[in-house]
Amino acid sequence: MTTVLIVDDQSLQRLGFSMLLEQHPDLTVVGEATHGAEAIRKTAELRPDVVLMDIRMPGMDGIEATRRIVRSGGRSHVLVLTTFDLDEHAYAALRAGASGFLLKDALPDELVAGIRAVAAGDAVIAPGLTRKLLDTFGDRFPGRTPDQEEMLSSLTQREGEVLKAIASGWSNLEIAERLSLAESTVKTHVSRILAKIGARDRVQAVIFAYDTGLVRPA
């Protein structure tokens, strides 16, 4: 059973999401929130698998709420809803730690699949689109911190190559073909990379690669 917290300031929007999700036996809505501060409080209280987060809300917006939920170190993953795929708000949400985003006009099946994927620990956004977002909006990267430097140094040469490939938007199959590796070996490398750099998913790995200067904006 995957538990979901719905965060949106529009009551009809929350009702629609709730009715849709409750049609699926493996999904259950455990609560609703109307703004960011309430989302943080209810996430801590209910510990949902997935927080379905609107961005534009009165008071604390979805980006700041996402940042605080992720920093709390809890089990909940955030799936953000946005209007445009190349939207500065979508970029900011990913930087805040969201596991991905969906467009507000996504089909019902896409929304359900996205929630399931995020609950399983996957990212709901193609690495290639992540890179495009970073190239478009990421014109000021903070540079490496001492902690990030230590994380980078913990990677083997091959893991560094795989991380660069992830940041370039390559799939596991493409990485395997271009680096002459078995796809199962690539999956093992990816898992180890995520663990070493403290990233929840491939999206956060791409952001880490940009932040540390391993990859530069186009």
Q: What is the CATH number of the domain that holds 182?
A: 1.10.10.10
- What one-letter code names the amino acid at 115? I
Task: Say whether both 79 and 151 belong to one domain.
Answer: no
Does a structural domain hold residue 130?
A: no
Under 8 Å between Cβ of 16 and 41: no
Q: What is the pLDDT of residues 58-70, one digit of tens each?
A: 889 999 999 999 9
Does a structural domain hold residue 204?
A: yes
Under 8 Å between Cβ of 176 and 182: yes
Task: Say whether both 153 and 61 belong to one domain.
Answer: no
Task: Say whether both 10 and 42 belong to one domain.
Answer: yes
Under 8 Å between Cβ of 151 and 197: yes
User: From the CA atom positions of the chain, what is the Rg in Å?
Assistant: 17
Task: Say whether both 17 and 77 belong to one domain.
Answer: yes
- Nearest in space to 111 (alpha carbons), one of 120, 119, 102: 102
Q: Of the candidates 90, 125, 160, which is a domain's last residue?
A: 125
Task: Say whether both 156 and 62 belong to one domain.
Answer: no
Under 8 Å between Cβ of 100 and 203: yes
Task: Say whether both 34 and 112 belong to one domain.
Answer: yes
Give pLDDT, residue 194: 93
Task: Say whether both 142 and 202 belong to one domain.
Answer: yes
Q: Of the candidates 102, 125, 148, which is a domain's last residue?
A: 125
Does a structural domain hold residue 71?
A: yes
Task: Say whether both 24 and 89 belong to one domain.
Answer: yes
Tally the domains of the chain: 2
Report how far residue 183's alpha carbon sits from residue 7's, in angstroms, rounded to the nearest whole number: 38
CATH number at residue 107: 3.40.50.2300
157 CB contacts (<8 Å, ≥6 apart)? none
Tokens of 42: 């209810």
Does a structural domain hold residue 218?
A: no
Does a structural domain hold residue 83?
A: yes
Task: Say whether both 97 and 169 belong to one domain.
Answer: no
Domain limits at 101?
A: 2-125
Under 8 Å between Cβ of 62 and 53: yes
Task: Say whether both 120 and 205 belong to one domain.
Answer: no
Q: Of the candidates 125, 154, 189, which is a domain's last residue?
A: 125
Task: Say whether both 18 and 94 belong to one domain.
Answer: yes
- What one-letter code names the amino acid at 67? R
pLDDT tens digits in sequence order for the chain, 218 residues long: 999 999 999 999 999 999 999 999 999 999 999 999 999 999 999 999 999 999 989 889 999 999 999 999 888 999 998 887 667 888 888 888 898 888 888 889 989 998 998 888 777 776 567 767 777 776 656 667 888 889 999 999 999 999 999 888 788 899 999 999 999 999 999 999 999 998 888 888 888 888 888 887 76
Task: Say whether both 66 and 146 belong to one domain.
Answer: no
Does a structural domain hold residue 29?
A: yes
Does a structural domain hold residue 145?
A: yes
SS3 150: helix
By DSSP bridging, strand 27-33 and strand 50-54 are unpaired
